[in-house]
Chains A and B, each alone.
Chain A
Amino acid sequence: MSTRKTALVTGSTSGIGQAIATRFAQGGADVILSGFGDAEEIEKSRSELEKATGVKVGFSGADLTKPDAISEMMAYAAKDFGGVDILVNNAGIQHVSPIEDFPVNKWDLIIALNLTAAFHTIRLAGAASSTRPLPTHLSPHLTNLPMLPPSMALQVSPKQSLLKGPNTACAVMRSALAMSTPRSLKAKSQIQPSHAA
């Protein structure tokens, strides 16, 4: 098993998640990509990143709105990478609509992906680390970084304000994690970008 740290970045087949995974790989961490997209394109970028950086790059196509799929993803991380040291909950979606027209299924999807998926990845990453040796250099870091919708919780357009719900819940979860300091989980912080290009 590699002595490098392993970073799992959800929603990393494109955009901010992909940039984070790339940066971590360039910094010498093994990386597990996660997300949806064209299978050939994902495999191409996975193998190219591996070749360019010399680290191990894996992939999980888990549907993060499904707890069982998240369990399988974490089991894959444990089996092929020895666990997750750095967890980046980046995957997220948004929908803009007045509340009276807001599609119920969209709301459920947003809660499942932007909020509940982070609960499951954090829960399972923590559970896994309690059962394996924790040399200092493998201490789990945990950056709870939901890629929340642009403009975030503080100032949003009236139609986006519904997303304050899951956003704020993520922030509360982050603070709770910070205070609980389980074992060596650390750096439990969020990044709130505005519109990212």
Chain B
Amino acid sequence: MTPEQVKKDVLLAAQPTKEFVTSEQVAAMAAFLISPDGDQINGTTMQIDGGWVAH
């Protein structure tokens, strides 16, 4: 298998977008949650997983 195949067919097999989440994308969500716009998001879980749990 090529490294690209391992990425898409093994590591990201269950992730429909076939792209890794980036640390910056997670950080942007964290910034939103602590901002006033995120005040009413409380006690929940925000999925950033490219659709991993969607199927």
Contacts and interface: CB of A to CB of B under 8 A. Distances in A.
Interface of A: 7, 15-16, 18-20, 22-24, 27, 86, 88, 141, 143, 145, 151-152, 154-155, 171, 174-175, 177-179, 186-197
Contacts, number: 112
A171 B45 contact: yes
A194 B30 contact: no
Contact of A192 (B11, B23, B49): B49
Nearest to B17: A194
Contacts of A187: 33-34, 38-39, 41-42
Interface string B24-55: 11111111011000110111111111101100
Contacts of B15: 194-195
Interface of B: 11-12, 14-15, 20-31, 33-34, 38-39, 41-50, 52-53
Contacts of A191: 26, 29-30, 33, 45-46, 48
Nearest to B29: A191
B23 A15 contact: yes
A192 B46 contact: yes
Given A19-B23, A155-B53, A197-B22, 10 more contacts: A16-B26, A19-B22, A24-B34, A152-B49, A178-B42, A186-B42, A187-B42, A188-B43, A194-B52, A196-B22
Contacts of A7: 34
B42 A196 contact: no
Given A174-B43, A190-B45, A194-B15, A16 B23 contact: yes
Contacts of B22: 19, 196-197
A20 B41 CA distance: 18
